[in-house]
Structure 1
Amino acid sequence: MIRRLAVCALLIVQVLPAFAAKEEVEYLIPEDWATKEPPKQVDGLPLSPKELESGMKKRFKEIPQCSAVAFGTANVVKDGAAVYQTLSQAGAQLDVIIDVNSEGKVGNAKFIGAKGAKDDPELQLMMCSTYAVMRTLQPDLETREKAQKNMKHVWVSAQQKPFEMAFYFNKIKTQYVPFEMNVH
């Protein structure tokens, strides 16, 4: 037993310095790097509020449990800088607040549930909204199966603390308390 511990200790003493040593990495930068413009940062979603709504309506129909989702009237507020709308289904309701950027595109879409994830109809409506947003943003790359898998992943990951995931060129942040999803 002591021999085994001694052998393990000797191996650890020899292996640890190898892990501690940092390798130097040489990065190759093109010579004309200084003359090129940096890529423009995407400010929000590549959709207008109306395009987001019509895309989500289409995607809700892809899942039978989501096909009855109804959109409330879109109310433009803050001199066109925001749109307030509701989503409802089976007694559940989500408030949707869309920030509109200077280009008329969605800067941030926030889906808020007042009752929380313990209310099954509201949880289902939030899951449907997450799926619809993912499929609307990336209809070609995000297949139905992939969107369902990613939808489940973001909400399972948010059970303990807020979770933010890169979603192609955008981000999706989900959290249980308060019960909301932000897409930006």
Structure 2
Amino acid sequence: MIARLLLLSLIVLPIAASADKKKADDVEYLLPADFDDASVSDKSDQKPGLQLTAKAFQAGMKKFIGDDVDCKTAKLTAPSSMKKGKVVYQQIDVSGSKLDVFLDMGAESRITNVRFESAIKDQDHLVAMLCATYGLMRTIEPNHITPAAAKKDALHLWQEAQTKPFSKAFMFNTFKAQMVPFQVNVF
């Protein structure tokens, strides 16, 4: 009898769990009957991206990426232009672990997206990703975010990304980290 109940619970449990997950994934937006979408401010006047130039990115990353003990050896290679200047490529090297860095350039030489990625996923490359993420967070907001807060935010981002892609708002930008492919996008 106990074996049958155990078997039954093993069969029913995954079905119930998937039903709960499906309910959690569904999002319903409720708007009041008198909602006027014209009253919503137009976001088209806001500039997308990081509001950093490639030079500001270089200077900030060189200044802040080595703040942590694990990141002291971090070096940024010289940038090279790709796709007729629309993408800037370089690498970050932290103790031999290399990350590819892609900067998507928009209007007025502003960065619209930063992507750190690596084909190798091991502990050393994860440390390099943490260093790069921390360095970029400090570059985006060097005055109002303390080094301790940036370290905490970078660590939280990568801890949550261990099982599934995770997005985190930071100032006026979004950091999206994932393990497959091993990368972080900032936009």
TM range (shorter): 0.7 to 0.9
Tell me the equivalent position of 1:140. 143
Q: Which amino acid aligns with 1:98?
A: L
Output one character per residue of 1:76-105: Cα deviation in whole Å (capped at 9) or x when no partner.
011110101011122210000110002211
Larger deviation: 59-68 or 75-84?
Answer: 59-68
Which residues of 2 match residues 45-64 of structure 1 at below 5 A?
45-64=50-69
Which residues of 2 match residues 1-184 of structure 1 at below 5 A?
38-39=42-43, 40-116=45-121, 119-184=122-187
Question: Secondary structure of the residue that 1:47 maps to in structure 2?
Answer: coil
TM-score, with length taken from structure 2: 0.76
Higher Cα Rg: structure 1 or 2? 1
RMSD in angstroms over aligned alpha carbons? 2.2
The answer for unaligned runs of 5 or more in structure 2 is 1-30
Question: Secondary structure of the residue that 1:97 maps to in structure 2?
Answer: strand
In the alignment, the residues of structure 1 paired with residue 80 and residue 183 of structure 2 have an alpha-carbon distance, to the nearest angstrom, of: 20
The answer for unaligned runs of 5 or more in structure 1 is 1-23
Tell me the equivalent position of 1:8. none
Per-residue deviation, 1:28: 11
Per-residue deviation, 1:26: 10
Structure with more of its chain in helix, by fraction = 2
Contact 1:95 1:111 in 2 (8 A): yes
Structure 1 consecutive aligned stretches of length 4 or more whose deviation exceeds 6 Å: 24-29
Contact 1:68 1:89 in 2 (8 A): yes
Q: % of aligned pairs identical? A: 35
